[in-house]
């Protein structure tokens, strides 16, 4: 049986830290799930790391459903949360409920959406139909065009107070957890101590109840952006390019394929074939 949102809430109560990682495809999701990580997040960051967009704005519901289905086929143990992409929930509460339902039908256990107080009614409505919601405050990549871009949030008293109020309002609206993206560590710690549901931080310091990273950042596979907050546990892009160069050289030199990589006819059948075609 895989983890539920109640298991995640209980981890905070028990003082256990929560690990989360993004997942978008069957192969990597199988490995993430096997590692025992608590939450697999099908983030709309898929648009950047899987599809090569400049930001998350072009990501569609159809794409999010496809990624979610792939991850759900791999998932055995972790909780599976999927992002509602840009414009799938902002225009109306009906859109938000319908599109949350699509992600649940694609295999998610819960959905995540960006926004503070302005999203509380939408969140309540989604929770009311029985779909768990993870909130997301701080840096909100779907609306960076309204702000100063990819900047740390909550560095002044007033912005800090706004974030703390947002977090309390989301808790009130019924979220089971809140992602805190690029919030100053002091404010992230205050929020984590103030609300009862777990906070999952990305670039928000060690005071959060859990941490999330983009899997390609952790594995060192995404070269375009290297966020300071992401720890690289491997340099996989170097190893992958090295392996591909070795393959290319082997093909060119005839070293690949070798006998163990090909298949043979039965000796007698081959003899008969040669007699018939006269070679
Ligand atoms: O899409 C994503 O990867 C996210 C994380 C940054 C939390 O929302």
CATH number of the domain that 15 lies in? 3.20.20.60
Question: What sign results for the dihedral spanned by CA atoms 216, 52, 141, 178?
Answer: negative
Residues 186 and 253 reside in one and the same domain: no
Residues 23 and 121 reside in one and the same domain: yes
Q: What is the pTM of this model?
A: 0.96
Give the pLDDT of residue 279: 77
Alpha carbon separation from 13 to 4, 173, 192 (Å, rounded)? 15, 20, 12
Q: Is 22 in the pocket of ligand 1 (CB under 6 A)?
A: yes
In the listed set 200, 219, 234, which residue is the last one of a domain according to the structure? 234
In which element (H, E) is residue 134 found?
strand 133-138
Give the pLDDT of residue 148: 67
CA 132-175-62 angle, to 5 degrees, is 50
Give the pLDDT of residue 200: 98
- Cα gap 205→211, rounded to integer Å: 9
User: Could you tell me the residue range of the domain that residue 111 belongs to?
Assistant: 5-234
Give the pLDDT of residue 144: 80
Residues 11 and 76 reside in one and the same domain: yes
Residues 95 and 180 reside in one and the same domain: yes
CA atoms within 13 A on the CB side of 5: 19
Q: Which of 138, 140, 135, 110 is nearest to 122 (CA)?
A: 135
Ligand 1 mean position, distance from CA 275 (Å): 65
What is the tally of structural domains in the chain?
2
User: Could you read off the pLDDT tens digit of each residue along the chain, which spans 279 residues?
Assistant: 999 999 999 999 999 999 999 999 999 999 999 999 999 999 999 999 999 999 999 999 999 999 999 999 999 999 999 999 999 999 999 999 999 999 999 999 999 999 999 999 999 999 999 999 999 999 999 998 777 678 899 999 999 999 999 999 999 999 999 999 999 999 999 999 999 999 999 999 999 999 999 999 999 999 898 899 999 999 999 999 999 999 999 999 999 999 999 999 999 999 999 999 997
Residues 83 and 48 reside in one and the same domain: yes
Residues 95 and 167 reside in one and the same domain: yes
Give the pLDDT of residue 110: 99
SS3 label, residue 39 = strand
Question: What sign results for the dihedral spanned by CA atoms 235, 236, 240, 241?
Answer: negative
Residues 268 and 169 reside in one and the same domain: no
CA 224 to chain centre: 17
| Catalytic status, residue 260 | no
Residues 170 and 244 reside in one and the same domain: no
Ligand 1 mean position, distance from CA 214 (Å): 7
DSSP category for residue 89: S
For 146-208, where are the E strands, in sequence order? 177-181, 199-202
Active-site annotation holder among 69, 171, 181, 193? 181
CB 233 within 8 Å of CB 217:
no
Ligand 1 mean position, distance from CA 227 (Å): 13
Q: Is 140 in the pocket of ligand 1 (CB under 6 A)?
A: no
Residues 191 and 265 reside in one and the same domain: no
């Amino acid at each position: 049986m895989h983890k539920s949102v109640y298991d995640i809430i209980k981890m905070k109560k028990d003082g256990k830290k929560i690990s989360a990682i993004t997942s978008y495809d069957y192969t990597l999701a199988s490995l993430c799930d096997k590692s025992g990580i608590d939450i697999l997040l099908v983030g709309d960051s898929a648009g950047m790391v899987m599809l090569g967009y400049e930001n998350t704005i072009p990501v569609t519901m159809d794409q999010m459903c496809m990624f979610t289905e792939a991850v759900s086929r791999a998932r055995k143990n972790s909780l599976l949360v999927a992002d509602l992409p840009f414009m799938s929930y902002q225009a109306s509460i009906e859109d938000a409920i319908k599109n949350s339902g699509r992600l649940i039908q694609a295999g998610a256990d819960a959905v995540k959406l960006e926004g503070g107080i302005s999203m509380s009614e939408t969140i309540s409505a989604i929770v009311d139909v029985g779909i768990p919601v993870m909130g997301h405050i701080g840096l909100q990549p779907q609306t960076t065009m309204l702000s100063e871009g990819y900047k740390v949030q909550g560095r002044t008293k007033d912005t800090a107070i706004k974030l703390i109020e947002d977090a309390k309002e989301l808790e009130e609206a019924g979220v089971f957890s809140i992602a805190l993206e690029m919030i100053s560590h002091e404010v992230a710690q205050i929020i984590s101590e103030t609300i009862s549901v777990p906070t999952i931080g990305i670039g928000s310091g060690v005071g959060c109840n859990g941490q999330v990273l983009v899997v390609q950042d952790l594995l060192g596979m995404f070269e375009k952006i290297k966020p300071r907050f992401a720890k690289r546990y491997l340099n996989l892009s170097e190893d992958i390019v090295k392996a591909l160069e070795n393959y290319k050289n082997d093909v060119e030199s005839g070293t690949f394929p070798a006998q163990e990589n090909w298949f043979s006819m039965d000796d007698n059948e081959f003899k008969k074939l040669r007699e018939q075609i006269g070679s």
